[in-house]
Chain A
Amino acid sequence: MSPLHFLLLGTLLFGIGLVGVIARRNLFVVYMSIELMLSAVNLLLATFSRIRGDEGGAVLSLLLIAVIAAEAAIFLAMIIALFRAKRSIDAHDFTQLSQEHNA
């Protein structure tokens, strides 16, 4: 079990998160996929920290966990707001960025 295993695992997790963001319409799953990608990065950070024997990476990873928590708070608040607005958590229902739907 070499460091490479951890790194490959982290990369794979990141890829899975990517697929989730692209393929899913359920806002909750999209949100969790984003969290998953962040966590994959976290795993990589922890691994690098362990490889170098440097705790800076672990600290960074710790800070990243805090960022994940902040992201969760905002994303969930947004989901609540969006759900209240349209009674839906389908990403396809939220297309306010395009002009024709604004009218």
Chain B
Amino acid sequence: MSLALLILLPFGSSLLLGMLYLFTSLRSERLYALIGVGAPLLISLIALWLGYGQLQGAESLHVSLFTWLSIDALRIEFALSFDHLSAVMMAFVSVIGTLIHLFAVGYMRGDAGFGKFFAYFNFFMGAMALLVLADNPIILFIGWELVGLASYLLIGFYHRESANVTAANKAFIANRVGDFGFIMALVLLFGAVGEGGFSFSAIEAQIYSVDHALLSLIGVLLFVGAMGKSAQIPLYVWLPDAMAGPTPVSALIHAATMVTAGVYMVARFDFLYVLIPAVGLFIAVIGILSALLSALIATMQSDIKKILAYSTMSQLGYMFVAVGLGAYGAGIFHVFTHAFFKALLFMGVGAVIIALHHEQNIFKMGGLRRFMPLVFYPMLIATLALSGVAPFAGFFSKDAILAAAVASEYPLFGVLGLVVAFLTAYYMMRLLLLVFVAPAKHRHTSLHVSPYLSLPLLPLALGSAVAGFWGMGGAYGGGDALTHFLSLSDYAHHLTHKSEYLLALLSNLIAFAGFALAYRRFASGAREPQPTALFERWILERFYVDALYHALLVVPLRRISLWCERIVDDRFVDGTLGLFSGGYRTLATHFSTLQNGNVRHYALYFLSGVSLLSLLLLWRL
């Protein structure tokens, strides 16, 4: 029952908020905030309580609400389950979600769509809960689609500007491409194993009977879905644009929760992916390429939110490397820690943006440390965590991934991971320095930060600092508690403690190298970069991927569409139809002279008919 409550509470409050917003003239922000924050708070309490139960070794919960579809062999239960993986996901999603809701109360203050925003936000929480708690791929898919919808609604929240609507459309369409893959995978999977039940446990039980080639295809297609949702090459283009939404949206959806759905889904299907390591390798390659590419782009960006967006994509790349190489525990671990510091970073950035009246260019900021220490220090912690500096949370999770990569058959991933770590440290420090430390470029003398905006940062800062200890590897005295708790089908890698220490040292050194480079270049302020080298221009133009997509997909499609419109539609389709319709029109023109609107004439026609009938009858009589 409490599981159903996890779903119903956010959806119910979303409905309530929507009704209040649409049908009443109530515009009390206090009320909307109370309902909007109350629901996530409640579900995070429930989730924590349930998660604590799981931690104490309780049985995983299953609840089947009703049979949703029952068509011959296709029998889909609307069922929810709460196992260890769900518990971890649910716990941090709800807690971080609650904090971001709280943050949003401050961020959205005074906005005309305050009530609408919280209706959407709670709707998103419900969808995310559905996704995480789903007991079968179909329900998961519903949640998957609903978070997509929520994301679409929230990106286009300021729908009066067409750019925002375009961004929302872009996100929606890019996600549809991924969803197409996902749905194909589900169809194939169902064709293969559907008759024996379609819940995750049932699929797991039958998975060995499936043909290997088919399984590979399913794995790839599932990953295509994950690409869309988690912004991996080549479907990542929507994520930077999605920053058009309000900053809490970016924090909640495009950093902490929704984008990790792909990782979660792959981890959920771990039993499938362990059977097809080739596909896993493919995932890892895509992941590391995404990480590298986006980290490179992030170093040259000047929009503060886009830097974070690319950073998110880069970290997601890490996670995919982990799950691709079979280190599911490490992947989820990184998801977990990343949620804390990335949410924190976005919220800090949101506070900065609000303080500077929606200025987003880092080169126009500076010197903010003096004005907002409560923002700066949490962000500093988050930056250190993101850069993998020991002993902050990011260090442990990233280290787990790097260790897995180094210990795997393909240590190249480890090397590239270190490169990415260097880049990460560089661009994060660049951001931090330009915003907080470098001389001010603006004329604000006093900047006020609402406690709603700064207070939620503190628990997250704490989380960023200490969350890593839960999954601390054996080398550092921990016991991989998280990995064991998740009990996914991890591939076991063996790395000696010494090599682990070496790796940790290396990665810390690299991070500090990145810091140092950034400090040297940006500590005393800098102008917006004017790219000179070819490579720099490439990076600034984001490797021309958008242009490439445009040239490869959009232009040919448009050409074909135009051709269809001009030739096929006009000549063939319309021509045939025109023949008919022209004939009708000619007939109709002639008949319409009869239909002259004069009722007496209609009576005349009618009576003429009666008259003729009468004549006929008279003649027959």
Contact = CB atoms under 8 A, between A and B. Distances in A.
Chains A and B touch (C-beta atoms under 8 A apart)? yes
A22 B600 CA distance: 6
Interface string A53-68: 0000000000000000
Contact of B597 (A18, A30, A97): A97
Interface string A64-103: 0000000000000000000000000001101111101100
B61 interface: no
A95 B598 contact: yes
B591 to A, nearest CB: 12
Contacts of B600: 21-22, 25, 30, 91
Interface string B579-607: 00000000000001001111110111001
B607 A22 contact: yes
B603 A22 contact: yes
B603 A98 contact: no
B596 to A, nearest CB: 5
Contacts of B602: 97
A21 B602 CA distance: 11
Interface in A12-29: 18, 21-22, 25
B596 A98 contact: yes
B605 to A, nearest CB: 10
Interface size class of B (residues with CB under 8 A): 10 to 19
A71 B602 CA distance: 20
Nearest to A18: B607
Interface residues of A, number: 14
A98 B592 contact: yes
A101 B598 CA distance: 11
Contacts of A94: 597-599
Nearest to B598: A95
Contacts of B592: 98, 100
A95 B597 contact: yes
Interface string B358-393: 000000000000000000000000000000000000
Interface in B409-454: none
Contacts of A92: 598
A16 to B, nearest CB: 14
B607 A97 contact: no
Contacts of B604: 22
A98 B607 contact: no
Contacts of A100: 592
A6 to B, nearest CB: 22
A95 B607 CA distance: 19
Contacts of B599: 91, 94, 97
Nearest to B610: A18
A91 B597 CA distance: 10
A69 B600 CA distance: 22
A21 B597 contact: no
Contacts of A21: 600, 603
A101 B597 contact: yes
Contacts of A101: 597
Interface string A1-41: 00000000000000000100110010000100000000000
A91 B607 contact: no
B565 to A, nearest CB: 30
Nearest to A93: B598
Contacts of B603: 21-22
B594 to A, nearest CB: 10
Contacts of B607: 18, 22
Nearest to B607: A22
A12 to B, nearest CB: 15
A100 B597 CA distance: 9
A90 to B, nearest CB: 10
B152 to A, nearest CB: 41
Interface of A: 18, 21-22, 25, 30, 91-92, 94-98, 100-101
22 contacts: A18-B607, A21-B603, A22-B604, A22-B607, A30-B600, A91-B598, A91-B599, A92-B598, A94-B597, A94-B598, A94-B599, A95-B596, A95-B598, A96-B597, A97-B595, A97-B598, A97-B602, A98-B592, A98-B595, A98-B597, A98-B598, A101-B597
Pick the 9 closest A-B CB pairs, nearest first: A98-B597, A95-B597, A97-B597, A91-B600, A95-B598, A98-B596, A22-B604, A101-B597, A98-B595
Given A22-B600, A91-B598, A91-B600, 19 more contacts: A21-B600, A22-B607, A25-B600, A30-B600, A91-B599, A92-B598, A94-B597, A94-B598, A94-B599, A95-B596, A95-B597, A95-B598, A96-B597, A97-B595, A97-B598, A97-B599, A97-B602, A98-B595, A98-B598
